[in-house]
Amino acid sequence: MQSALFQIGKWFVHTPAALQALIRVLLYVIPLLLLVPMFIWWERRLLSWMQDRIGPNRVGPFGLLQAIADGVKLFFKEDITPASIDRLIYFVAPAIALFPAFALGGTLPWGPNRLLTPMADVNIGVLYIMAVSSLGVYGVVLGGYAPNNKYSLLGGLRSSAQLISYELAMGMSLAAIALASGSLKVTEFVHQQEMPIWGADQAVWIQNWNLFTPYGFLAGIIFAICMVAETNRAPFDLPEAENELIAGYHTEYSSMKFAVYFMGEYAAMFVFSGVFAAVFLGGYNFLPIRWEALIDDYPAATAFWQFMQALNYYGAPIWFIGKCIGGLSVYIWLRATLPRLRYDQLMSLGWRCLLPLSVANFMAVGFWVLLTRLMGGMEQFESDAQPLATLGLLLIDVLIVMVVDRVYRRGSGKEMASRTIEMVDPPVLRSIELVDGGEPVVPANG
C-alpha cells in the first residue's frame, strides 16, 4: 500500500505541468460535484430542525438519498419551454450560472501540499476570486432576460444590481487583508495566519488568524455579509421573492435547468465559505494554536504536541471542508432566522454602510502598515512594533464603525429620486410608508 502510494507520487512529480494541473482540477471538481447533493440534504435537515420540524428522513438512512430522489424526479419531469424565447441564451444561461460557482475555488489551498492544491498558485490569487464572482452576474441577468417575461426580467435586473453593489465592499475588504498580508496569493494569506498573533514574539502559541485582528474582524464581517448577498441567499433573496416576482429570474426554468441553477447556488455557497475560511479563519489549520511554540514552551508533553502537529498537517483538507460546512450552516441559520430585506434597504446597506466601512478600513490598514514599518525601524520599539500598532488600529476601527453607523442612521429613509430606480422598482411598491412604532401609512393619492 505504501509503496503503491510512493510509486504514484513519483509518477505525479515527473509528469508535465499541464497534466499535473488537469489532475489538480479533477481532484477539486469531482469531490465538489459529489458533495452538492449532501449540501442540499444538510440544508433541508438543518433548516427543518431550526423550524422545529423533522426534515426528509424517509428516503435512505436519515433521508440521505433525498437529493438523489429529487434529481431523478427533476430528470423525468416535463420540460416546459416558453414559446417566444431567445433560444440560445435560454439554454446556455444555467450553464453560465454554474461555471463561476465551480471556478471560484481555483486559487484556494485545501491543504499544505503545493503539488496537489490549489489548482493554480498564481500571483493574483485573491483577484481571481473577485473576477470570477463578477462573472456570476451573467447567469442571473441572462436567465432573467431569455424567457420573454417582464417579471423575470425585473428579477434578473434587481439581482444583478444587488450583485454588483455588494461586489465592491467585498473587493475592498479582501484588499485590506491583501494589504496587511503583503501579497495577493491566498496561500500567502494562510501562511501569514500561521504566525504568532498580532506579530508578537515567536514563543506565543496563538495563531494570527485574520478574524482575530481588528482590521480582519471588520473586514470579515463585511465580507460575510457581502458573501451572503453575492449568492442571492436570505436575507438578500429579494430576486427570488415569491410574493412579488413569482420566482424572480428563474421563473421560466423548469426541471433540469432549474436543478442546474440550484446546483450552482449551493456550490457557490460552499466555495464562498471556503474563501472566508482561507482568508479569515486560517485556512486548513485545525485550531489557532502554534504547536511548534508549545513544543518549545512545554517540552514535557512533546509527544502530544507532535501528534497534534501531524494531525494538523495530514488532515488539512478535512479541517478545511469542516470550516466550509460550518460556513454553510451559518448560511442556513441566516435563512432560518432573518426576514428578507426590502430592495431600497438592501441597496442602501451595500452602498452607504458597507462600502464606506470597507474603504475606511482599507485606509486604516494602510496607515497601520506604514506605522509598523516606521516603528520597526526604531530601536526601542523593534520587537513590539506590530502589537502596539495593532492595538492602535483596534481603537481606530472602533471609531470608524461608530462614525459610519452615525452617518448611516442619519441618512436613512431619504431615497434618491431616480428614473432608473423607478423603472426597476415601480413606485407603487414603495408608496406605503412604514412609520417607526406605528401603523403603515398609505398616501391618500397613491
Partner 1 sequence: MPSITITPDLIVFVPLALVAALSAIGVVALKNAVRSALCLVLNFFTLSALYFNLRAEIIGITQVVVYTGAIMVLFLFVIMLLNLGAPQLLAEKKDLKIGAGLAGGVILFGVIAGTIFPPLVSVNVIHAPTKYGEPATLGHTLFTQFVWPFEVASILLLVGIVGSILLAKRKI
Q: Which residues bind partner 1 (CB under 8 A)?
A: 86, 88-89, 122-124, 127-128, 130-132, 134-135, 137-138, 141-142, 145, 150, 153-154, 156-157, 160-161, 164, 167, 184, 416-420, 422-424
> What is the nearest approach in angstroms of partner 1 to the Cβ of residue 173?
15
Closer to partner 1 by CB, 9 or 182: give it. Answer: 182
**Of 281, 3, 278, whose CA–CA distance to 117 is shortest?**
278
> What is the nearest approach in angstroms of partner 1 to the Cβ of residue 135?
6
Closer to partner 1 by CB, 121 or 384: give it. Answer: 121
Distances in whole angstroms, Cα of residue 436 to Cα of each of 96, 346, 440, 441: 43, 18, 9, 11
Strands, E assignment, 279-323: none
- CA-to-CA distance for 359 and 350, rounded, in angstroms? 12
3-state secondary structure of 443: coil
DSSP string, 397-408: HHHHHHHHHHHH
List all residues 6 or more positions away from 118 whose beta carbon is below 8 Å from its beta carbon: 24, 105, 106, 107, 108, 109, 110, 125, 186, 187
**Would you say 312 and 291 are in contact if contact means Cβ atoms under 8 Å apart?**
yes
- CA-to-CA distance for 43 and 400, rounded, in angstroms? 36
DSSP 433: E
3-state secondary structure 181-248: HCCCCHHHHHHHCCCEHHHCCCCCCEECCHHHCHHHHHHHHHHHHHHHHHCCCCCCCHHHCHHHHCCH
> What is the nearest approach in angstroms of partner 1 to the Cβ of residue 424?
8
Closer to partner 1 by CB, 42 or 90: give it. Answer: 90
> What is the nearest approach in angstroms of partner 1 to the Cβ of residue 262?
23
> Half-sphere exposure of 162 toward its Cβ, with a 13 Å CA cutoff?
32
Closer to partner 1 by CB, 170 or 281: give it. Answer: 170
Closer to partner 1 by CB, 43 or 252: give it. Answer: 252
Angle (CA) 379-211-178 rounded to 5° is: 65
> What is the nearest approach in angstroms of partner 1 to the Cβ of residue 423?
6
Closer to partner 1 by CB, 184 or 278: give it. Answer: 184
> What is the nearest approach in angstroms of partner 1 to the Cβ of residue 407?
18
> What is the nearest approach in angstroms of partner 1 to the Cβ of residue 128?
6
- CA-to-CA distance for 275 and 100, rounded, in angstroms? 14
Closer to partner 1 by CB, 27 or 135: give it. Answer: 135
- CA-to-CA distance for 301 and 7, rounded, in angstroms? 36
> What is the nearest approach in angstroms of partner 1 to the Cβ of residue 257?
18
Closer to partner 1 by CB, 109 or 136: give it. Answer: 136
> What is the nearest approach in angstroms of partner 1 to the Cβ of residue 307?
39
Closer to partner 1 by CB, 66 or 251: give it. Answer: 251
Closer to partner 1 by CB, 146 or 293: give it. Answer: 146
> What is the nearest approach in angstroms of partner 1 to the Cβ of residue 165?
11
Main-chain phi, psi angles of 157, to 5 degrees: -65, -40
> What is the nearest approach in angstroms of partner 1 to the Cβ of residue 100?
10
Q: Where are the alpha helices (DSSP H) in 82-213?
A: 87-103, 125-145, 150-181, 186-192
- CA-to-CA distance for 181 and 389, rounded, in angstroms? 15
Q: Which three cell numbers stand for residue 287?
A: 485550531
**Would you say 361 and 222 are in contact if contact means Cβ atoms under 8 Å apart?**
yes
> What is the nearest approach in angstroms of partner 1 to the Cβ of residue 163?
9
- CA-to-CA distance for 208 and 212, rounded, in angstroms? 7
Closer to partner 1 by CB, 135 or 375: give it. Answer: 135
Closer to partner 1 by CB, 135 or 311: give it. Answer: 135
Q: For residue 384, how far is the Cα from the chain centroid?
A: 34
Distances in whole angstroms, Cα of residue 219 to Cα of each of 99, 178, 185: 27, 11, 17
